Structure 1
């Protein structure tokens, strides 16, 4: 077991105005990594007196702008200011679309010689369940359901920690992962209407022993009159708070 710590840079969705996008900062043996890099990631880092120079790499779960919209700044700052490429771990199914359909129109610079994704990042394409290292911390991804027909995945750290990219509730998957040794689940949730995310009502249907292992994120803002006792054993993650595992 390798200790690490993680901070939510935001707990909001793409439309939140009071909380940043649901991205995380991971620290492993003194090195810092981003889990997703949405449009508010760099502003959130600035709030805690960190910036590009502190970050060693980024893992992407999917290509919605609240999870990858900050890649432009990472690429441009690295290429034209810092002179350094961030490491970028990307699930292999995104290889056909990340550059051609997401980044190329905003980053391509023929005059400057930067015409490929590899010119901006040290890119690592990883297959499902292929283990890679975040400064000694083992990681792999699992495809999980978010928007139908669009790729999304979740991340497993040290074989015991699950971080949902964005996903609907899936009790059978969570129970299977518990049997595989995972005992902490950072899980996105919507307290109001939910279609492509887990609903709070849906998570309430999980067994009590499972609910106690759930840490909720991506909720944006809490409902009016919210009482912590309403969590029914689940835990609520807060923006800019470190938790060690």
Structure 2
């Protein structure tokens, strides 16, 4: 049965993770290190980031963590730094980060809207940067519900954001599908009682995601085919 609502993750799902955050993260790390080469290396290692390649490792905390969790990983290397100020700097920089769409988003979301689907977005990013990214991508009005990790519903893998989204859209969780690129997304979907759809536009591979998903797609561009029943399977 087709869902009545699709609930999306943001980073690695709407937007290609490495292409978006790879180069940006280098600047963020260098800025926080203040030109100290040893500190730059230590911060990069703590975040699972390869400064030379400009890419995150598959086990990086940044893939699914909230800004406070990322800040807490950095703070032991930044003695004297204020936690709230660090989080605020991270969020302000993130809001300005150019996003690289995983697929052409305009045509896809026009298709989904034409099907009468309710749409939501839940992210472990903060809400303000998320709304800035959606607006820059022309999707500011596409979603009936948007929540970040600081919106009052918790963060993934807990189900709070997803349950709040279903309630806001006036739907039962079982009528919703969650689409994401990480185990946090899939675990949240399971905990909320929703269909769990994995996409491979993040860092985690098929072998990691498939055991926890009802369906694995290369990217969100495969959603119309799935909705049309074109034989896309989990394998």
Greater relative contact order structure (CA < 8 Å, 6+ sep): 2
* Same topology, TM > 0.5: no
> Which structure is higher in strand share?
1
TM-score (norm 1): 0.32
TM-score scaled by length of structure 2 = 0.33
